[in-house]
Amino acid sequence: MLITSMFSHYAFFFSCFVGSLVSLSMAVDADESSTDDTPSNTIYLDPKASREARTEDLYSRLTQDEKIKLLAGTGFGIQPIERLSVPGVEMADAGQGVRGGNKTTEGPATLFASGMTMASTWNSTLLRKIGAAIGVEGLNKGTGVHIMLGPAVNITRAPLNGRNGEYMGEDPFLTAQSACEYILGMQNDANCLACIKHFACNNEEADRMWVDVNVSERTLHEIYLPAFETAVKKAHVRSVMSSYNQVNGFHASANKHLLTDILRDEWGFDGVVMSDWGGVHETKNTILSGNDLEMPDAKYLTSKNVKTALKNGDISQTDIDRNSRNIVRAIVDSCVLDGPHTPDHSRVGSPEHMELSYRAACEGIVLLKNQNNILPLDAKKIKTIALIGPAVKKMQYGAEGSPHVDPITETSPFDGIKSKLDSSVKINYVEIDAEEALNAARDADIAILCVNTLWTESEGVDRESMLLPGGQDALISAVASVNSHTVVALNNGAPVEMANWIENVDGVLETWLPGEEGGKALADILFGDINPSGKLPETLAFKREDYPDTPNFHTKTEPGSIEYAEGIYVGYRYFDKKNIKPLFPFGFGLSYTSFDYSDLRLSSQTLSPSGKVTVTVDVKNTGEREGAEVVQLYIRPIDPIMDRPIRELKGFVKLDLKPGEAKKATFALDARSFAHWDEVLSSWKVDDGAYAIEAAASSSDIRLSETVRATGVNVGD
Ligand code: BGC
């Protein structure tokens, strides 16, 4: 797919490039041999040659020193091999847009919606386009980047985790599908490498370099690994970043079980594994485990350390060969060997990309409450509007820390809302002062509060509480006490507690971290130009203590371990099992129209040995506005013979429907949809028995159900 066949547009440059090789410096360490590097033999430079042939050819030319040097990066890149005219391969963070890497890529880029917001769209087609757009911006920003450090797919186990906004929610299936599309866009459409991260179980920031996650094999396979597995098997992701933390006693970057047994042997990954930045802690096990590349540079995988380890017999030549060959393959996978690339800077922040950013914000914003149909607002009826809160003029547009992108532009809610109103409308704006807010809201026709987590969410730091910081709960209550038409727009990456005020307000929108067009999208939803269609990728509980990680969330700064005692019961799996009512369930989101589900059909009432079954359901827009519905498919084992979640998401489709229009949602299930990880067999297994197939509007709103029977179903590979 990627690579060889796609490079015909480089053919012209290629001939010039080969020409330059004639003047190659052939300086090689005196005691090391190298093969003949005459241009006619340089298969590695031939875009038409196969990926493996190019890899083997380049690899066979490397001296031992060059192989070892490759094992560590250059800040944000793979080492160049000057002797063979192999340029360095540049990298940049790329979870919500392209951040600066090696200086060459600094500067603004389109800031798309964060991972959480993207997942909230449940729109696979859109995510693929965004992945491609970010890839295109990377290739064309500065001097060009070929490895995009994203998507980030750690499951949001704990609501206080500072990086939740970067990730794609609590459900392995939704995360896997979202990440898969994003990667396909980057790799197949834009033609650069995606790097899925952080492998694995980097679910909180406290003590992230050392914390040891104790997690069962079943929990790993069912909850924390599926996004990586799907990325490898379906999207053929070319690179993986190991995480900072330890997993069951070994750092992820020195964890043979994760990096070799599972990633390569179980799933067949054939790309490169790089460490997170500063995530390597030793030489021997890093190399043995299959962490090919130390980033950002050589701290443990220095030439000296590697040579000593080889001499001592801690590692073998085969280990060096294997890891450096994987890095060579990544060089081939990137386009750097296919001739000079002249970045087109006009592709960065292009109108098409801004439009995609806007679309993602529109589709990712979730309408949570709409009492008395307070929304959409009628601009004609507003004489005075109160706009209150710290996010009115400056939202948290994206996740912070390494994913931070300087946006091309920013549209604030203030600007977005103002543009909807006649110039005669009075706008009472207050940032955070409760007294002033009371006065501003008292006589307004409508009060809109834009509140946020005040930059308390970021890489490297977890939140201490799920409450809105800075007295914003009191601010909301004060405003609601004087104005019965109050709408709250939340701007945050992870859940906040709403119990203190939600009963007192009519409208609530979760805007997440919506990207640079967030204020425009919010205004368009408030005034009904856009019908909201986002659904929650994460359960929103009444209070922090309702979440399963509460007794096992690591807040210490000294090294320690965390027991993932809740096992597979993460997110709605836990709330369902324990019968804890959430404030808003996973998969929930309101629309300005309504949808009716009917005629759920299965292609068969019994599963064949392959487990394949096609499910269809008709969905009709029964309201008066055009809208989109995310139709969800859950599987519920009926009388399971072992401990299973009540139900699990196994399919979703987003349908655009005009008023009165009906469409069929179609889902293809297979054996894996019904399977659990069997720790005794070390494989997936489908138990014989009956399973309910549920068509749902959220994990708590099951509209229709049918039963299928499984006997002797095999999961295979
Ligand atoms: C983050 C990674 C990021 C890397 C490079 C690390 O601190 O954990 O997600 O890709 O830095 O910026």
Angle, helices 51-61/317-333, rounded to nearest 10 degrees: 130
- Is the model's pLDDT at 18 over the cut of 50? no
**Which among 105, 199, 242, 459 is the best mutation to test ligand 1's pocket, defined by most ligand atoms within 8 Å of the CB?**
459
For residues 104 and 514, give the distance between their C-alpha atoms in angstroms, rounded to a whole number: 27
Residue 4: what pLDDT?
33
Closest CA to ligand 1's atom 4: 277
Total-model pTM: 0.94
DSSP 8-state class, residue 461: B
Phi-psi region of 297 (alpha: psi -120 to 50; beta: other; left: phi over 0): beta
Tally of CB atoms within 10 A around 630: 25
Given a contact cutoff of 8 angstroms between Cβ atoms, the answer to whether 313 and 280 are in contact is no
- Confidence at 557, pLDDT banded by 50, 70, 90: low
| Centroid of ligand 1 to alpha carbon of 407 (angstroms) | 19
| pLDDT, tens digit (0-9, with 9 covering 90-100), for 180-227 | 999 999 999 999 999 999 999 999 998 899 999 999 999 999 999 999
| pLDDT, tens digit (0-9, with 9 covering 90-100), for 517-546 | 999 999 999 999 999 999 999 999 999 999
Q: Is 470 exposed, middle or buried (0-12, 13-18, 19+ CB in 10 A)?
A: middle
Q: Is 687 exposed, middle or buried (0-12, 13-18, 19+ CB in 10 A)?
A: middle
| pLDDT, tens digit (0-9, with 9 covering 90-100), for 74-127 | 999 999 999 999 999 999 999 999 997 776 777 899 999 999 999 999 999 999
Give 496-531 as a 3 state SS string. Answer: CCCCCCHHHCCEEEECCCCCCCHHHHHHHHHCCCCC
**For residue 357, which of 404, 397, 402, 416 has the smallest C-alpha distance?**
397
| Centroid of ligand 1 to alpha carbon of 273 (angstroms) | 14
- Is the model's pLDDT at 38 over the cut of 50? no
Q: Is 259 exposed, middle or buried (0-12, 13-18, 19+ CB in 10 A)?
A: buried
Given a contact cutoff of 8 angstroms between Cβ atoms, the answer to whether 236 and 267 are in contact is no
Q: Which is more confidently placed, 35 or 46?
A: 46
Helix (H), strand (E) at residue 367: strand 366-370
Q: Using the atom order of ligand 1, give the atom closest to the CA of residue 195.
A: 10
Q: Which of 171, 207, 276, 576 is catalytic?
A: 276
For residues 148 and 135, give the distance between their C-alpha atoms in angstroms, rounded to a whole number: 7
Give the CA count within 13 Å in the CB-facing half-sphere of 287.
31
| Centroid of ligand 1 to alpha carbon of 337 (angstroms) | 26
| Centroid of ligand 1 to alpha carbon of 296 (angstroms) | 10
- Is the model's pLDDT at 37 over the cut of 70? no
Closest CA to ligand 1's atom 9: 402
Amino acid type, 577: K
Closest CA to ligand 1's atom 3: 402
**Which among 91, 147, 201, 276 is the best mutation to test ligand 1's pocket, defined by most ligand atoms within 8 Å of the CB?**
276
Composition of the chain by helix, strand, coil, percent to 5: 35, 20, 45
Instruction: Mark whether 276 is an active-site residue.
Output: yes
Residue 40: what pLDDT?
59
For residues 131 and 698, give the distance between their C-alpha atoms in angstroms, rounded to a whole number: 26
**For residue 302, which of 135, 563, 25, 79 has the smallest C-alpha distance?**
79
**Which among 90, 93, 99 is the best mutation to test ligand 1's pocket, defined by most ligand atoms within 8 Å of the CB?**
93
| Centroid of ligand 1 to alpha carbon of 639 (angstroms) | 44
**For residue 372, which of 486, 517, 511, 542 has the smallest C-alpha distance?**
486
Residue 717: what pLDDT?
66
- Confidence at 482, pLDDT banded by 50, 70, 90: very high
| Centroid of ligand 1 to alpha carbon of 150 (angstroms) | 10
Given a contact cutoff of 8 angstroms between Cβ atoms, the answer to whether 399 and 513 are in contact is yes
Given a contact cutoff of 8 angstroms between Cβ atoms, the answer to whether 417 and 376 are in contact is no
Residue 34: what pLDDT?
46
Given a contact cutoff of 8 angstroms between Cβ atoms, the answer to whether 110 and 97 are in contact is yes
Given a contact cutoff of 8 angstroms between Cβ atoms, the answer to whether 129 and 377 are in contact is no
Given a contact cutoff of 8 angstroms between Cβ atoms, the answer to whether 45 and 109 are in contact is no
Residue 559: what pLDDT?
64
Q: Using the atom order of ligand 1, give the atom closest to the CA of residue 197.
A: 9
Closest CA to ligand 1's atom 11: 277
Q: Using the atom order of ligand 1, give the atom closest to the CA of residue 76.
A: 5
- Confidence at 558, pLDDT banded by 50, 70, 90: low
Q: What is the mean predicted confidence (pLDDT) over 378-402? A: 97
Closest CA to ligand 1's atom 6: 277
- Confidence at 426, pLDDT banded by 50, 70, 90: very high
DSSP one-letter string for 407-453: -S----HHHHHHTTS-TTSEEEEESS-HHHHHHHHHT-SEEEEEEE-
- Confidence at 554, pLDDT banded by 50, 70, 90: confident
Token look-up 């924390």 returns 224
Q: Using the atom order of ligand 1, give the atom closest to the CA of residue 91.
A: 5
For residues 78 and 454, give the distance between their C-alpha atoms in angstroms, rounded to a whole number: 36
Closest CA to ligand 1's atom 12: 402
First to last CA, the chain: 21
Helix (H), strand (E) at residue 618: strand 613-621
Helix (H), strand (E) at residue 91: strand 89-93
For residues 320 and 307, give the distance between their C-alpha atoms in angstroms, rounded to a whole number: 10
- Confidence at 631, pLDDT banded by 50, 70, 90: very high
Cis peptide before 296 (omega within 30 of 0): yes
Pairing between β-strand 613-621 and β-strand 246-247 as defined by DSSP bridges? unpaired
Residue 41: what pLDDT?
80
Give the C-alpha distances (Å, rounded to integers) separating 451 from 95, 136, 489.
24, 33, 6
- Is the model's pLDDT at 20 over the cut of 50? no
* Pocket-forming residues, ligand 1, beta carbon under 6 Å: 93, 149, 197, 276-277, 402
| Centroid of ligand 1 to alpha carbon of 277 (angstroms) | 6
* Helical H segments across 546-663, by residue range: 572-577
Q: What is the mean predicted confidence (pLDDT) over 388-407? A: 96
β-partners of residue 710 are: 689
Residue 716: what pLDDT?
81
Tally of CB atoms within 10 A around 33: 8
